Structure 1
Amino acid sequence: MLKAVGLTLAGTLVPGIAAAGWAYWHLNGNIKSVDINSALGDDRPARALTTPSASASAAASASPRPSGALNILVLGSDSRSGKANQALGGGDSSGARSDTAMVVHIDAGRTRATVVSIPRDTLVTRPSCPLASGGSTAVAYGAMFNSAYSVGGPVCAVKTAESVTGVRMDHYIEIDFSGFAKLVDALGGVTVTTDEDIDDDDSHLHLKAGTHHLNGKQALALARTRHGIGDGSDLGRIGLQQNLVKALLERISTQNLLTDPAKLYEVADAVTDSLTTDTGLDSLTELMTLGKSLGGLEPADVRTVMMPVVTAPSDPNRVVAKEPAATTLWESLR
């Protein structure tokens, strides 16, 4: 997804100066942001150490590779209110939830990435979080991980993720699920393979086991489905979501976006219109810089895993981090 953002935006200047100027203004205006650093202050895990590249002094490269690792909290926010979202399989509830949470770790050379999914049903200690309206939330013990977003938005989501993992989140990216559907459609669909039949009335998805080319509405239903697979828990859905991310990366890698300005703009508009970031990534320039640094990262270089969990002793429908495996995983990303 990060590569999609960067590569699509990197080409917005292709169709002439006047058109590109308007495109830049429009796409830049699509992006929403939250000043997470100011809200959280210094009471956070330390940043990853940044060391000079071994070849930095050997040559003055025009575009040297970044030398520090990055950890980015990526949330899929699932708003189910409004006609558009209800048409995409939403219910009658209002507001938004962080139904998908992934920590994306990009290594210092930008040659490998690890995507760690955190189950939304994980019970955690949710720290006190500052509120935009003033004051703060109370510490909550045994709270579901995704409750952080519900009570305190992106700021609380980041603080809770950092509390659980001990890892500094250098950036925050939130992708609205309805925008995700538009992105898939802009790319001409995505091809996925399922190992079992999916029959989920809640997400409105009914698929036989096998390979399918999905449109945006179907891909979103796949990302949402949980009751039609496995034991109906969030853990089965995470496997589908990770396969979907890989399939999306494969689809992007096969598109000649930079040679098709109209398609490029359609994809870039879909990406930015669904995007909320921290203030360090809230402009096209910053997103392009990140995207260009990921130019050598191929789908095969992306590893997807799930935070190790076990059934919660207090509730068979919830999970808790499995130790020491979870701590070992997070330590490898610091």
Structure 2
Amino acid sequence: MNDETRRMPAAGSQPPPSFTPQNTPGGRPRSTQDAVPVGGEHAPVSHVPSRPTTRRPSGEQRPPSSVPPARSGAPASRPPSARPARVSSSPHAAVRPARATAASPAGPGGPAGPGGRSDATGPGGEGRKPRLRLRKRRIIAAVLTLLLVLVIAWPVGLLMWANSKVEHVAALSGAPDTPGTTYLLAGSDSREDGAIASDGTEGARTDTIMLLHVPESGPTALVSLPRDTYTDVPGRGPAKLNAAYAWGGPELLVASVEKLTGITVDHYVEVGLGGVKDLVNAVDGVDLCLDYDVDDEKSNLKWKAGCHTVKGKKALAFIRMRYSDPKGDIGRAERQRQLVSAVTKKAANPGTLVNPGKQVDLIDSGLGAVRASDGTGIVNLGRLALAFRAASGEDGITGTPPIESLDYRPGGVGSTVLLKPSEAPAFFTGILDGTLEPGRYDADGLVKEKPASDEKKSDKK
């Protein structure tokens, strides 16, 4: 067989398209210049490098091949691993490396190599998972943003609404400031139901007068001033303390308290005792304690000695009763402090704080009967509640100022409560500068027990 015959393919086989003879003798281009590009003579030339052909001298033998020659009449076959990659006839085709199979080693371009594609995504899924992850992150971010807005907006809106419910009244006297922060709490009662007998004083009444002082340093103090305290009312002369309210409203009451104690009032808060019933009901009742039986006709209080959970109507009678109390106004002042402490404690319960409906009911009931001095807002009332709790704690001061007589009769004003002139001024000075010893003070000016006993007693049933 000559060289030309040896180069011809076996009968019936077709040469690869890119090597179809095009006007070249011998059926194979002699050089790259003679090759015709895939797709026709006008198609771009593929960048596949062609192997140079070397013509052997006549008579030179071809080196033996490991592949047996094809039988005559049948196309020559090659092992699968030796097959050349198929070349596309598209003019834009480029030579691509063969895809890695399961048996292919991991490496560059393979499943585990750089630039490889993960089989987990599947065909056409390379960009689907990143898009899903991005969408999920956006949804989570939107939900978190909404929750943050609600967490911030609800307290702010509640605060603004609560602040709008506070009725303001001119009350402060404009006296020079004294150190610390002082609140004057007054409980007003119209006496329309005759629960408390008239004492001859005309006009409105204040049956509860409490002075709450937060010093710059030292214990917080909550002192009940007996409503019948004999004092000098500015512009009116000697009279009972609650007569100042009847004659001149909150302003004259504030001025009278400042003259009696030497402490300037920063915030005045007045609570209608008729609203106490709704307030107690808003917190679902409170626990109150009294260590003796009561059957009082004027206040309609019927009580069995011990601690009981009561609703608004009975709680109101509890703080208004005084004629069946062996300590009179002093005992009533103690019960009033006990009620305020119980309501404050119940309102601070987590079940109330996290319940929007309870919050609205509490604010609506509590502030519906409140009047405060000009400039006193809901934030100041919140600080007042915190100060009240501090005064009722183990490190606070509660009680009354030292009392000389519970039935002092100077003439012209009936029976009054006379403070000890030699001890009361020092008592108020100690409260003002924070030097008074913590504890619960009785009418004798002595510390009887820690003020926390009010809360501890109310916990026992």
The TM-score normalised by the length of structure 1 is: 0.73
- Paired AA for residue 213 in structure 1: T
Match of residue 160 from structure 1: 256
Note if contact 2:212-2:220 (Cα within 8 Å) is conserved in structure 1: yes
SS in 2 for 1:157: helix
Distance 1:295 1:197, change over 3 A: closer
- Paired AA for residue 324 in structure 1: S
Aligned-CA RMSD value: 3.1
Distance in 2 between the 1:254 and 1:314 partners? 48
Match of residue 70 from structure 1: 181
Higher strand share: 1
Q: Which has the higher contact order (CA 8 A, sep 6+)?
A: 1
Match of residue 8 from structure 2: none
Please state how far the C-alpha of 1:293 moved relative to its aligned partner: 7.1
Match of residue 302 from structure 2: 206
Match of residue 429 from structure 2: 331
Structure 2: runs of 5+ lacking an equivalent = 1-148, 433-461
SS in 1 for 2:431: coil
SS in 1 for 2:326: coil
Match of residue 209 from structure 2: 101
Structure 1: runs of 5+ lacking an equivalent = 1-12, 50-68, 129-138
Please state how far the C-alpha of 1:255 moved relative to its aligned partner: 4.5
Please state how far the C-alpha of 1:144 moved relative to its aligned partner: 0.7
Note if contact 2:288-2:309 (Cα within 8 Å) is conserved in structure 1: yes
Match of residue 55 from structure 1: none
- Does the alignment pair 1:33 with 2:131? no
Equivalent position to 2:370, from 267, 270, 275: 275
SS in 2 for 1:191: strand
Match of residue 330 from structure 2: 235
Equivalent position to 1:140, from 237, 244, 255: 237
SS in 1 for 2:399: strand
SS in 1 for 2:186: strand
Equivalent position to 1:306, from 393, 400, 404: 400
Distance 1:298 1:89, change over 3 A: same
Alignment length (residue pairs): 277
Match of residue 115 from structure 1: 222
- Displaced runs of 4 or more, over 6 A: 13-16, 90-94
Please state how far the C-alpha of 1:292 moved relative to its aligned partner: 9.1
Note if contact 1:176-1:274 (Cα within 8 Å) is conserved in structure 2: yes
Equivalent position to 1:194, from 290, 298, 314: 290
SS in 1 for 2:342: helix
Distance 1:245 1:24, change over 3 A: closer
Distance 1:124 1:270, change over 3 A: same
SS in 1 for 2:353: helix
Distance in 1 between the 2:385 and 2:330 partners? 33
Match of residue 250 from structure 1: 345
Please state how far the C-alpha of 1:104 moved relative to its aligned partner: 0.4
Distance 1:14 1:28, change over 3 A: farther
Distance in 2 between the 1:182 and 1:296 partners? 21
